[in-house]
Amino acid sequence: MAKTLKEKLGELIPRLREERATILKDFGETQISQVSVAQAFGGMRGVKGMICDTSVVEPDKGLIIRGRPIMELKDRLPEEIFWLLLTGNLPSADELALFQKELKAHGEVPNYIWKVLKAMPKTSHPMAMLDTAILSMENESAFRKRYDEGMAKTEYWEPTLEDAMTILGTIHTIAAGIYRLKYKKGDIIEPSKKLDWGADYARMLGLPPKKGETYAMMRLYLVLHSDHEGGNVSANTCHTVGSALSDPFYAVSAGLNGLAGPLHGLANQECLNWVLQTMEKFGGAPSEKQIEDYAWETLNSGKVIPGYGHAVLRVTDPRFAAFNAFGKKYLAKDPVFLTVDRVFTVVPKVLEKQGKAKNPWPNVDAGSGALLYHYGIKEFEYYTVLFSVSRAMGMLSQLVLNRALGTAITRPKSVSTEWIKSQTGK
């Protein structure tokens, strides 16, 4: 008989705890990283100081989830990815069906969430709306209730998983509701009993299915954005807040607040904006020369070119490549997609010539917007909400594992500039 995710984790967690105890006992004093003054001033880039088992990002390969390069996973369902992130294996067909059923059973959005959202200013950013909704839903937290009743540390992961199911079961419905409220698209659409998570999100947004293409695009989008190891702003913030035993509603809402920054998740809204600006300036899909001129204009005015560069990656992001391949298959003649594709030919050369960015290649945000735009989501300030629905899987799987392994409260040591000067003799 198929096992539930909780049963699977219940079998796995004792082994993980044992492994961690052995590593700490045998290698606890082994050095794995050093920190330079530049790293201390520079966002701790490259400092190895935390554990994340759900995925790794290799500078020359990109995202690898549990040993599988993201390109191998691009045709999977997001629900399979969540299971993989947590357990290290893909679910069987029966396990997947059971998990999807469970997720739907957690799918009711409390009515007060819609009231909170409707009370927000009409000009609120959709990310502020999503983060507020998730935070407001803290009222539902199983973790908080169990903690208040008094639970053993070894049980922390169980209500964390329960909260994760509640967040994942509802976040796509909330996100779709925000879209329809904010952009006056009509009544909020109720979740379906039949469709999978990704397809249902597309349906609740009110997008025409276009023979299932829209559903396929949404599944791909949700798979590609699901996780990006533990040190990025949203994952790291969620981890830090969760490490204080704040429940998943607090932690995920906090992580999403980080995702709302233009150097992180908001880059996708900035990115399509930049592409549309070039199109507006040149009256349609611009030529390579026109894109080159506009890229220099952007750089010379002291701005970054959104969608390019990365703190870790040093090659074209495979997630960009996956979006680009989808675009070439289904919307090759779309002028916005054509422009994105042309920007890809031109901008890396411009950034290389400028010589500042360590990575001149596109990241995930450079490619996703053209697809969303094509399938009818024209309000690009909404794009980070789509990213958030997906990234909730990564943040939540990391949270559950950290509670299972009893990861300590985050507390790195900061030093003062005076201390740095005293160490360097200046």
Could you tell me if residue 256 is left (phi over 0), alpha (psi between -120 and 50 degrees) or otherwise beta? alpha
Q: Does 308 bind ligand HAX (CB under 6 A)?
A: yes
Q: Which of residues 384-423 bind ligand HAX (CB under 6 A)?
A: none
Stretch of residues binding ligand HAX (CB under 6 A), selected from 76-84, 157-165, 170-178, 262-270: 262-270
Of residues 42 through 81, those in contact with ligand HAX by CB under 6 A are 45
Q: How far is the C-alpha of 271 from the C-alpha of 371, rounded, in Å?
A: 13
Residue 258 as a binder of ligand HAX (CB under 6 A): the answer is no
The DSSP H or E segment spanning 275 is helix 267-282
Which position's Cβ is nearest ligand HAX?
A: 309
* Nearest-angstrom CA–CA distance, 292 and 298: 10
Contact yes or no for 309/360 (Cβ under 8 A)? yes
* Contact status: 304 vs ligand HAX (CB under 6 A): yes
Part in contact with ligand HAX (CB under 6 A); list of ranges 1-9, 185-193, 216-224, 257-265: 257-265
Determine if 344 is a binding residue for ligand HAX (CB under 6 A). Answer: no
Q: Which is nearer to ligand HAX, 43 or 67 (CB)?
A: 43
Radius of gyration, alpha carbons of the chain: 22
Active site residue 264: yes
Determine, following the binding rule CB under 6 A, whether residue 255 of this chain makes contact with ligand HAX.
no
Give the integer Cα–Cα distance in Å for 413 and 416. Answer: 10
Q: Are 82 and 164 in contact (CB under 8 A)?
A: no
Q: Find the catalytic residue in 228, 310, 317, 374.
A: 310
Work out which of 263, 276, 315, 325 binds ligand HAX, going by CB under 6 A.
263
Q: Where are the alpha helices (DSSP H) in 28-141?
A: 37-41, 70-73, 78-87, 93-105, 111-119, 126-136
Q: Which stretch binds ligand HAX (CB under 6 A): 89-97, 245-253, 260-268, 277-285?
A: 260-268
Token representation of residue 23: 């590593």
Given candidates 306, 318, 369, 394, which one binds ligand HAX under the rule CB under 6 A?
306
Amino acid at 408: A
- Using the minimum distance from each CB to ligand HAX, give the nearer residue, 176 or 312: 312
As measured in angstroms, the least distance from the Cβ of 284 to ligand HAX is: 24
**According to the binding rule CB under 6 A, does residue 319 interact with ligand HAX?**
no
- Is the distance from CB of 381 to CB of 213 less than 8 angstroms? no
Q: Catalytic annotation on 247?
A: no
Answer yes or no whether residue 350 interacts with ligand HAX by CB under 6 A: no
Is 228 in the active site?
A: no
Task: Give the residue, chosen from 79, 140, 227, 365, that forms a contact with ligand HAX under the rule CB under 6 A.
Answer: 365
Which string of b and e fits 163-189 if b means at least 16 CB within 10 Å?
A: bbbbbbbbbbbbbbbbbbbbbebeebb
Runs of H (alpha helix) within 212-247: 213-224, 233-243
Residue 74 CA from chain centroid, whole number: 15
Tell me: does residue 359 bind ligand HAX (CB under 6 A).
yes
Catalytic residues: 264, 310, 365
Q: Which residues bind ligand HAX (CB under 6 A)?
A: 45, 232, 263-265, 267, 299, 304-311, 356-359, 363-365
